Amino acid sequence: GGRIVGIDRRRNLVRYRARPAFAGKDRFVVARRSRGVRWRTVVSVTVHGAPQPKAPRPSPPTCKGEAERTNYETPVRLSVTCRGTEVAPLTITGGPSHGALQNIQRSGNGNSRTLAATYIPDDLFVGNDALRVEGHNAGGHAEGTAGVEVRPWRMRALGDSATAGFGFLGDGTEITSAVLLSCSPPETFNNDRCSSNSPEGPGYEGPIKWSADFGLANDVSWAAQFANRWQGGGHITAPVMFQNHAVTGSTPAEWLPGGVLHEQLAATVAEDPDLVAFTLGVNPLLNRILVQGEGEACIKGSTDVAALVACIEPIFQAVALRPRLEAIYAALLTAPDAKVVTFQYHDAYPAISLIHEFQPWQVEALINHLNAEIAAAVSATRTSLPAQGSRLTLIEAQVDPAAPDPLKVARFNVGVPADPNQTWTGSFTCGGAFTVDGPSHQSTTTQEALPAVFENKFCPGEPWTISADTGIHPNRAGYAQFAQAMIDVAAARDLVPQLP
């Protein structure tokens, strides 16, 4: 371990030098002689190394949780990660206060550890909650918080006039026939004038505007009536929980990329509300058939349903109704959790027939073919998107009044004579006095236009369509039929949870 570098005989000293970096025990032997006597001395040497610095104390870990948002009564994964030196397994130190944790998992190593858990909000809870997690090492400890916002239940309505509540002003006043033309949707641009979810009235030609409460307070549209009646009313408020973005006169193409309403559709998908409900599809057909007169001659000339369908099919193909509806359904289903509900349309005979001289069965065949296209688009979407398709619900229109179904929208047509092209017979009774071919609350102008022979074939009560136009657009009582079907379907298929 070293060597002798010198001997001081006078002082009996031996100089020993250890090798560089040597530390430990060494020994050497010193031999001496005096007056004929020899002896040896074994000398033990302990060489101490330079003082070693103590290992530095590590800094306390740093912990950070991710902030999450989740829908009403929807579980979400929370996590906190702590980083540092030799971090011990993480522990939960607090929370949540308004939910439970499941599937708690710990992962990582001493340099980075993560604790993750599934947060299940308490029933009816809305607001903010948090999970607190601690990490520690030799240097100390730190806490990280994973916050979560449980958003209120949210419904968003989209679509056309049947959802916007056309024919009513924002204060709930029904329009008159004197302003009908200045209320009809402009041909060159979109706005939502004279609709229950808009503050704008006759003659307005500016951009689309929706009321601050989206028409919830006036209780006109089926969307508003549904929201105001769910769980007996008072549980759904605007604008956080309820928004109706439907636009009178809008077509499927206008909600798709390149259309003026696509931005609103995209915003709805990004928001991922709990429920999206709408009517959509009839406007391009009404415009081409009723306004432009396309196909009118062959419709009137058709003598059976098959011939009429063959006549109108090119119009359906020209507006690409089915593929455009499929594209809209698919786009909405890209929202991770949103449940999507779409309606078929009711049959609003007879006023539309009186204006265009269509026979009742021809109107019915036209509407039935439209509804069949909607059903086919729903079916195709469910098939192409099996994982998401279960969140798409179709509320059908009732075809046969003799077979009422609470999960379908009731027929709107009045009593009419028997017709060989109709597949059903009269069976709707007005208080037991007489029987008609369907629920027949209709507008005053519709009743006045019919021959006197039909005078006793109207059921008493509020009309189901507004008086100011062709009987196409529902009145409050008509929207109530849509709303009731929505309530029944939502309850039967668990589309809306219990709300606080």
Per-residue pLDDT of 61-89, as tens digits, reads 999 999 999 999 999 999 999 999 999 99
Residue position matching structure tokens 């001081």: 8
Whole-number pLDDT of residue 248:
93
Residue position matching structure tokens 């060159």: 188
Average pLDDT for 381-406? 88
Supply 75's token pair. 């579980």
The β-bridge partners of 129 are 148
Q: What is the rounded end-to-end Cα distance, in angstroms, of the chain? A: 84
CB 436 within 8 A of CB 426: yes
What H or E segment, with its residue span, contains residue 491?
Answer: helix 476-492
3-state secondary structure at position 184:
coil
Rounded to the nearest 5 degrees, what angle is found at the Cα of 103, between the Cα atoms of 97 and 107?
105
CA–CA separation, 22 vs 34, rounded Å? Answer: 35
- When mean pLDDT is compared across 347-351, 382-386, 485-489, the lowest value belongs to 347-351
How many CB atoms neighbour CB 370 within 10 A? Answer: 21
CB 137 within 8 A of CB 60: yes
CA–CA separation, 388 vs 345, rounded Å? Answer: 24
Peptide bond connecting 350 to the previous residue in cis, omega within 30 degrees of 0: yes
Strands 155-159 and 242-244: parallel
Question: For residue 104, which amino acid is it?
Answer: I
CA-based nearest residue to 481, from 430, 411, 431, 416: 411
CA–CA separation, 215 vs 481, rounded Å? Answer: 18
Greatest pairwise CA separation for the chain in angstroms: 162
Question: For residue 370, which amino acid is it?
Answer: L
User: What's the pLDDT tens digit per position in 267-303?
Assistant: 999 999 999 999 999 888 877 876 677 888 888 888 8
CB 474 within 8 A of CB 446: no
Q: How far is CA 146 from CA 82, 96, 114, 117, 272, in A?
A: 12, 10, 12, 10, 22
- In 385-451, which ranges are continuous DSSP H helix? 386-389, 444-449
User: What's the pLDDT tens digit per position in 444-461?
Assistant: 455 555 544 455 555 556
Whole-number pLDDT of residue 418:
46
Residue 401 clears pLDDT 70, i.e. is over it: no
Residue position matching structure tokens 């007056």: 35
Supply 258's token pair. 């390149």
How many CB atoms neighbour CB 258 within 10 A? Answer: 7
CA-based nearest residue to 30, from 13, 17, 47: 13
User: What's the pLDDT tens digit per position in 100-144?
Assistant: 999 999 999 999 999 999 999 999 999 999 999 999 999 999 999
Residue 19 clears pLDDT 70, i.e. is over it: yes
